[in-house]
Amino acid sequence: MSHLHIPDGIIDPIWLLIGFIVTGLIIGLSLFMLRKKDIQKLVPRIGIISAVMLLGMSVPLPIGIGYHLNLSVLVGIILGPWAGFISAFIVNLILALIGHGGVTVIGLNSLIIGSETVFGFLFFGALRSFLRINISALIATFFALALSTALMMGIVGITQVNPAKFLHHHEHNHQTQLEEHNHQVDSQEELAEISLIKFAKIIIPFAFIGWVIESLITSAIIGFMGRVKPDLFYERER
């Protein structure tokens, strides 16, 4: 529930570019960190786990409303933060290619879903030393999703597109009077603030339900994997 499903053409191109640059830098860093890993093992691992993530997203949750899973935290726990971020990018790319998200927001979306893999991995790693793994996964997932939603809200806030700007442009082309311009800037800021609050009011209740469901399912999966194949979780190299 924390994808940035903002369509193409809404966000200012400069922010889209920044999104791509930051994602590119993180991917570059991830590739650098993974450079000593065996590519013969890494490619199938990232590819197939990303496919499971895509599958998780394609399964509607059987609770009567249109939710689907992300599994991004789980992917972070299994692949680790670097490969996990790459996996998030791949999933976003495929989602954009099948019309499930904007092509131009792939960079920003990857930052959000990638943050879930990274935060999830970090929280799980910190908690599992003193809590049971399913409880650690539950807490890690909940807080990772909450943080990524906060990041999404932050991005929406920073990149806020002001509807008034466009509507005003249509209604009164080329206004030049300074007084009217100042008034316009004030009302734009006010509207932007209102629309962000409105956006938060709509998104957060839905997102909260999503965090709870995803946390419960991730916890169930991790509990099951812990019993059947405990060596699956990514271990930090010392």
Binding residues among 52-91 for other proteins as defined by CB under 8 A: 52, 54-59, 61-64, 66, 69, 71, 74, 78, 86-87, 89-91
In the complex, the smallest distance separating the C-beta of residue 66 from other proteins, rounded to whole angstroms, is 8
Query: Taking CB under 8 A as the rule, does residue 191 contact other proteins?
Result: yes
- Min dist CB 61 to other proteins, Å, is 7
Contact with other proteins (CB under 8 A) among 20, 22, 33, 94: 94
Q: How far is CA 71 from CA 7, 23, 205, 235, in A?
A: 23, 20, 20, 19
Region of 117-125, 139-147, 173-181, 192-200 interacting with other proteins (CB under 8 A): 192-200
Closest CA to 106 of 93, 87, 117: 93
Which of 95, 147 has the CB closer to other proteins?
Answer: 95
- Binding part of the chain for other proteins, among 2-10, 112-120, 140-148, 175-183 by CB under 8 A, reads 2-10
Least distance in Å: CB of 180 to other proteins?
18
Name residues contacting other proteins, limited to 157-186 (CB under 8 A): 161, 163-164, 166-167, 169-170
CB of 74 to other proteins, least distance (A): 7
Applying the rule CB under 8 A, the residues between 119 and 138 that interact with other proteins are none
Choice from 76, 119, 221, 234 touching other proteins (CB under 8 A): 221
For other proteins, give the closer residue by CB, 158 or 202: 202
By beta-carbon proximity to other proteins, the closer residue of 110 and 115 is 110
- What secondary structure, in 3-state letters, does the chain show? CCCCCCCCCCCCHHHHHHHHHHHHHHHHHHHHHCCCCCHHHHHHHHHHHHHHHHHHHHCECCCCCCCECCCHHHHHHHHCHHHHHHHHHHHHHHHHHCCCCCCCCHHHHHHHHHHHHHHHHHHHHHHCCCCCHHHHHHHHHHHHHHHHHHHHHHHHHHCCCCHHHHHHHHHCCCCCCHHHHHHHHHHHHHHHHHHHHHHHHHHHHHHHHHHHHHHHHHHHHHHHHHHHCHHHCCCCCC
Of the candidate residues 228, 230, 235, 237, the single one contacting other proteins (CB under 8 A): 228
